[in-house]
């Protein structure tokens, strides 16, 4: 088991990473320190892991109760929060209750948000089961739900007590979801590390085969990138906003398609669009864009947004994006080259139009 420490002002916790660590004696002993524990998961994961994980936790008295939500981004809403809060009250859970988020980014976000508001704040732990949540969503304390009009617009900064990343869960992940998670890993490479970008290009077949050593390196590397940024800028006032590369376009795609696109798929198309925005500003070379587009393509991620999504559709959602300081200014993160990105505080509408029209023609 590998451990990464996150040390913030007034908060310290560990990210535990390994293979088959979920039933590790140290993990079980740690969880048993909490007397009142409620596991929150979705219906899909409950079917898969009921016998060998969830029931085992119940027998070992690691958890007292469980809450099973519907599976999918469309359920990341107030109704799911109401279900959790009502169940916690029904279970007579006090302020010392521990919530365990057992699932992907949706479960992690919902559980974290519920933990932050139940009785003005209770403890929770993240056990991410998807590649995307293991390298991104489970770390950093962002919690939240979607509104009908915008993604992640309602939420809090509220950190878990720890994160437990077990590679074993990736074995039951759908191929489409696994590929979706790779977009966030490529994002880190485009943001911070050109060598890592080409490492991904040279090793993605081993990643697909779930080679333990390759996967562990890839996940550890990605987590280290995110932790370094979070420690510098916990509340996204400065450098943390760079982690939103591709997300302004991507969140617009998710909202427009009513979340029929996976998050990683939308981010992939969003990063390509951000790259073309950079090209139209004269910031990035055509060669570098080709490298970015080629990597997303060979991995099987989309490089274009929905064909029926026009410029005004993007604009409607982009002006509501939670990263914007003013509703009249759209913030964008764009790559200058692989390994270096910059912030555009006020995106030019004509260049956005040019970018989206280019995307529609491809």
| DSSP designation for 154 | E
Average the pLDDT over 325-331 and give the result. 78
Distance between CA 330 and CA 139 in Å, rounded?
26
pTM of the model: 0.95
What CATH number does the domain located at 179-361 have?
1.20.1090.10
Strands (E), the chain: 2-8, 11-18, 37-42, 65-69, 98-103, 123-128, 142-145, 154-157, 162-166, 332-337, 340-344
* pLDDT for the residue 182: 98
* Whether residue 361 has pLDDT greater than 90: no
2-172 fold: Rossmann fold (3.40.50)
Domain segments of the chain: what residues?
2-172, 179-361
pLDDT digits (tens, 9 = 90+) for 129-171: 999 999 999 999 999 999 988 899 999 999 999 999 999 999 9
pLDDT digits (tens, 9 = 90+) for 203-224: 999 999 999 999 999 999 999 9
Confidence of residue 326 (pLDDT cuts 50, 70, 90): low
* Whether residue 112 has pLDDT greater than 80: yes
**316 Cβ contact list (under 8 Å, min separation 6):** 252
């Amino acid at each position: 088991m590998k451990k990464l420490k996150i040390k913030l002002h007034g908060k310290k916790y560990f990210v535990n990473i390994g293979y088959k660590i979920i039933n590790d004696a140290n993990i079980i002993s740690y969880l048993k320190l909490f007397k009142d524990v409620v596991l929150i998961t979705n219906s899909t994961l409950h079917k898969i892991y009921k016998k060998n994980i969830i029931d085992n936790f119940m027998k070992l008295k690691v958890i007292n109760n469980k809450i099973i939500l519907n599976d999918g981004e469309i359920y990341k809403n107030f109704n799911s929060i109401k279900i959790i809060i009502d169940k916690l009250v029904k279970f007579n859970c006090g302020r010392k209750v521990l919530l365990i988020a057992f699932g992907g980014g949706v479960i992690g976000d919902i559980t974290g948000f519920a933990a932050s508001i139940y009785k003005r704040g209770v403890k929770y732990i993240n056990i991410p089961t998807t590649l995307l949540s293991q390298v991104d969503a489970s770390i950093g304390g962002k919690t939240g739900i979607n509104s009908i009009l915008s993604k992640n617009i309602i939420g809090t900064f509220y950190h878990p007590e720890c994160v437990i990343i077990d590679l074993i869960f990736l074995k039951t992940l759908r191929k489409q979801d696994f590929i979706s998670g790779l977009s966030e890993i490529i994002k880190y490479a485009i943001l911070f590390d050109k060598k890592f970008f080409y490492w991904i290009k040279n090793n993605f077949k081993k990643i697909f085969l779930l080679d333990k050593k390759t996967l562990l390196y890839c996940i550890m590397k990605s987590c280290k990138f995110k932790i370094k940024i979070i420690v510098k800028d916990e509340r996204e006032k400065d450098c943390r906003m760079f982690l939103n590369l591709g997300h302004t376009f991507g969140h617009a795609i998710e909202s427009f398609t009513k979340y029929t696109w996976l998050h990683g798929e939308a981010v992939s198309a969003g990063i390509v669009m951000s790259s073309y925005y950079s090209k139209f500003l004269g910031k990035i070379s055509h060669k570098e864009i080709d490298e970015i587009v080629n990597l997303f393509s060979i991995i099987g991620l989309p490089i274009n947004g929905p064909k029926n999504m026009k410029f005004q559709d993007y604009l409607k959602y982009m002006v509501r994006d939670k990263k914007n300081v003013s509703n009249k200014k759209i913030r964008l993160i764009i790559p200058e080259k692989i390994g270096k990105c910059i912030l555009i505080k006020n995106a030019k509408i004509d260049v956005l139009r040019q970018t989206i029209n280019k995307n529609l023609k491809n």
